[in-house]
Structure 1
Amino acid sequence: MANLNITLHLLVCLAGAHGAAAQATPKAKPEADRRAIVQVLTTQTAAWNRGDIPGFMQGYWQSDSLVFIGRKGPTYGWQPTLANYQKNYPDAATMGQLDFGGLRVSLLAPGAAQVVGRWHLARPAALGDLQGYFLLVMRQINGKWVVVADHTNSSQ
């Protein structure tokens, strides 16, 4: 657990170093921040479920410093992450219907949070459902909460 906390701290510091110039220090407002973070995920789910991967990606930091860690290892940058999603989910059937559950939002510092949760894709029987867990590091950049680091795994 100590290693996870150190890793998250380093990710938050790295993300802050890249985004600090464009970001004013937000004032602490825990409940409003939690609601805003959950709203980002709700908006992403709606975009995914209508087959809109670019819309889904609006919840991510549009930066070369974004990191997505999946089963094939890390991907750096917003554009390569978008390309991976488009390659792996080329049509609505493959995308399925997404839902998130078991969300646990923890505010780490003003303008920084982590979210742990479960994801599930309901897909046609021929493709089979997918599911797993994720850990997101989110930052408030230019007044908007965005995912700056995403570690997602699949239990398949």
Structure 2
Amino acid sequence: MCKGLSGIPSSCLERAKGMRVKLSHLAEKQEWVYKHRATEEKAPQDLESLLSSKPGIQAFRGFLRSEFSEENLEFWLACEDYKSTSGSRLAARAQNIFKQFVDPDAPREVNLDSETREALVGLMEEPAADTFLQAQRRIFSLMAKDSFPRFLRSSYSQQPLRVL
């Protein structure tokens, strides 16, 4: 005859209750993941598409940080921001970008060829909205040919990107 739960030691009953609570939390989490999977996407297969989304930038930044080379992305983003800088602030913003990324003693110096660097030095006298355009293109090309292919092979691109 079945004695029911009264025949089971109380310590086993307490553990069973704890397991039931943990399983219910796990089931809720799994349900949340299933519901939100529709809002996740894989990493784009080209750098331009990746850089057009916040989740893409975050994933690429994490990868570059792991390689100690995020200065290229930070420079590219600073140049994007610079393009929309108002005329009265152009000179100050240009100097800031130059000191941070281009100057030979810059704390986060990017790898620019001497021709591009010298052209940029000449443009710094009277900065315009397109002052960094050539340098930004060089860095984009460098990331597209070097960092981005490694990113695609990394675990950073294998995980779904959260769309915020």
* TM-score over 0.5 (shorter chain): no
TM-score scaled by structure 2? 0.25
| Structure holding more strand per residue | 1
TM-score by length of 1: 0.26
Q: Which has the higher contact order (CA 8 A, sep 6+)?
A: 2
